[in-house]
Chains A and B, each alone.
Chain A
């Protein structure tokens, strides 16, 4: 493989290839998705099974499934808290996860229960460092 994967400097990451962005207007909320590397690995996303608003998610625990044409992958939330929203647009256009993993392809929005959990996440440099060499 020879592709370069985007890893925006403004985001936080997990080793399991999720990203998290603090919401500017609602600082207690985090927008969460999967990274460019992750979408490339799983291939064409065709269906997502996501938690519903009001569900509680726990950091590092499986809270959904991302199904691609070739495989199914678990989805983990990088932080615990209450799900505020899931990206409804993905029901009709799951391919947004591939086409725009950091923007239109966001997956869930969570109200952060414990700020301290953010400290355990990777910054972009740390995430890039643990990506496999291309």
Chain B
């Protein structure tokens, strides 16, 4: 049984095609993935990302409790700031990648991936008990992304949003209802994400659309995040990959000496030479890369890796993908081949991201 979005009827009325994703029935696309992708790169798109799980941890102990189960030192995160972090297992593998918002009044909001929502909340419950509460069903989460997104968010939500810097978060009053906002996202563009009560979801969605944000689905979200080289948990990172080989060392704090789940394994992993690294591959001829395709050295019989993600990049108009390559191959400029259903498609290792947002004039 799939969970339905609060705004399902709105998506349907906009012509959405739905697809199951992590237990939710999600809009995959409206008009088309490429058009929605380009709308976000060129102007702005609005995504219903209410499948992402939202949990509060509150009280004077909250920061310390969160520190004990997450990799980034949240105790150093100022009020009004959000940061990317990880839940690791004892072996240092990534159980989930998360976002933590520090709100006034010793309140912390944690955003989990839908596929891991139950396990993640259990993890919080185990350390925080009743200080942890899940608010996914009674709220919605909308992301507005693109070069025009900050303008649109400011038009709709007022000056409270306009004053936010990158990764700032705040609780705003929107016509008498609280809306939690953060200048964050998952597309490689500027913009923000908002969490509001389910009763105000339709009005908020309509306001963003009226202000010029194009409805955009999960399909475009995937191509946008891949161009920005942002990993997707379950594809590019999982319980068997550690943060350093995934290029996520910035989300791990070790120098505060604070204990957290996985710390010992991560200290060891950091000290050792990497065996493999998450590398970024760009096709050199026409063809589309897809997750699971084998990567070979030119002429090699045995695959050296398999793609963890792959797509046609609408911005670059060629195939792009990621794979854990042996470090000797994970260097920009190295040429490899991807087996595209029997055809050897030449690819080059490139620096991340594949696509960098255009500077604002």
Contact (Cβ within 8 A) B288 A72: yes
Contact of B34 among A46, A49, A67, A72 (CB under 8 A): A46
Contact (Cβ within 8 A) B288 A46: yes
Expressed in whole angstroms, the Cα–Cα distance for A49 and B285 within the complex equals 12
Q: Which residue of A lies closest to B19 (CB)?
A: A70
Contact (Cβ within 8 A) B286 A69: no
Which residues of A in the span 98-117 have a Cβ within 8 Å of any Cβ on B?
Answer: 98
Contact (Cβ within 8 A) B341 A46: no
Q: Which residue of A lies closest to B217 (CB)?
A: A70
Expressed in whole angstroms, the Cα–Cα distance for A43 and B311 within the complex equals 14
Question: A109 to nearest B CB, angstroms?
Answer: 21
Question: B285 to nearest A CB, angstroms?
Answer: 10
Contact (Cβ within 8 A) A69 B341: no
Which residues of B in the span 1-57 have a Cβ within 8 Å of any Cβ on A?
Answer: 15, 17, 28-29, 32-35, 37
- Please give, as numbers and ranges, the residues of chain B lying within 8 Å of A67 by CB-CB distance: 287-288, 312
- Please give, as numbers and ranges, the residues of chain A lying within 8 Å of B34 by CB-CB distance: 44, 46, 69, 95
Contact (Cβ within 8 A) B223 A69: yes
Cβ-based interface call for A47 (8 A): yes
- With A69-B311, A69-B312, A69-B314 as given contacts, are A44 and B33 in contact (CB-CB < 8 Å)? yes
Cβ-based interface call for B219 (8 A): yes
Cβ-based interface call for A123 (8 A): no
29 contacts between A and B (CB under 8 A): A1-B15, A1-B17, A2-B15, A3-B15, A44-B32, A44-B35, A46-B34, A46-B312, A46-B317, A47-B287, A47-B288, A49-B287, A49-B343, A65-B341, A67-B287, A67-B312, A68-B33, A69-B33, A69-B34, A69-B37, A69-B219, A69-B223, A69-B312, A69-B314, A72-B290, A72-B341, A91-B286, A95-B34, A98-B32
- Please give, as numbers and ranges, the residues of chain B lying within 8 Å of A46 by CB-CB distance: 34, 288, 312, 314, 317
- Please give, as numbers and ranges, the residues of chain A lying within 8 Å of B37 by CB-CB distance: 69
**Chain B binding surface, main DSSP class:** mixed
Contact (Cβ within 8 A) A70 B288: no
Contact (Cβ within 8 A) A70 B33: yes
Chain A residues close to B by CB (< 8 Å) = 1-3, 43-44, 46-47, 49, 65, 67-70, 72, 91, 95, 98
Contact (Cβ within 8 A) A43 B33: yes
- Please give, as numbers and ranges, the residues of chain B lying within 8 Å of A47 by CB-CB distance: 286-288, 312, 319
Quick one: which of A44, A65, A98 has the most chain B CB within 10 A?
A44
- Please give, as numbers and ranges, the residues of chain A lying within 8 Å of B319 by CB-CB distance: 47
Expressed in whole angstroms, the Cα–Cα distance for A72 and B37 within the complex equals 19
Expressed in whole angstroms, the Cα–Cα distance for A98 and B34 within the complex equals 12
Expressed in whole angstroms, the Cα–Cα distance for A47 and B28 within the complex equals 20
Chain B window 186-223, contacts with chain A (Cβ cutoff 8 Å), 1 for yes, 0 for no: 00000000000000000000000000000000010001
Expressed in whole angstroms, the Cα–Cα distance for A1 and B312 within the complex equals 25
Contact (Cβ within 8 A) A70 B286: no
Expressed in whole angstroms, the Cα–Cα distance for A46 and B289 within the complex equals 12
Expressed in whole angstroms, the Cα–Cα distance for A121 and B317 within the complex equals 36
Expressed in whole angstroms, the Cα–Cα distance for A3 and B34 within the complex equals 19
Q: Which residue of B lies closest to A92 (CB)?
A: B317
4 further interface pairs, Cβ-Cβ under 8 Å (given A46-B314, A47-B319, A72-B290): A3-B15, A67-B312, A70-B28, A70-B219
Expressed in whole angstroms, the Cα–Cα distance for A134 and B78 within the complex equals 53
Contact (Cβ within 8 A) A69 B287: no
Expressed in whole angstroms, the Cα–Cα distance for A125 and B58 within the complex equals 64
- Please give, as numbers and ranges, the residues of chain A lying within 8 Å of B29 by CB-CB distance: 43, 70
Expressed in whole angstroms, the Cα–Cα distance for A69 and B221 within the complex equals 12
Expressed in whole angstroms, the Cα–Cα distance for A72 and B290 within the complex equals 10
Question: B33 to nearest A CB, angstroms?
Answer: 4
Which residues of B in the span 202-258 have a Cβ within 8 Å of any Cβ on A?
Answer: 219, 223
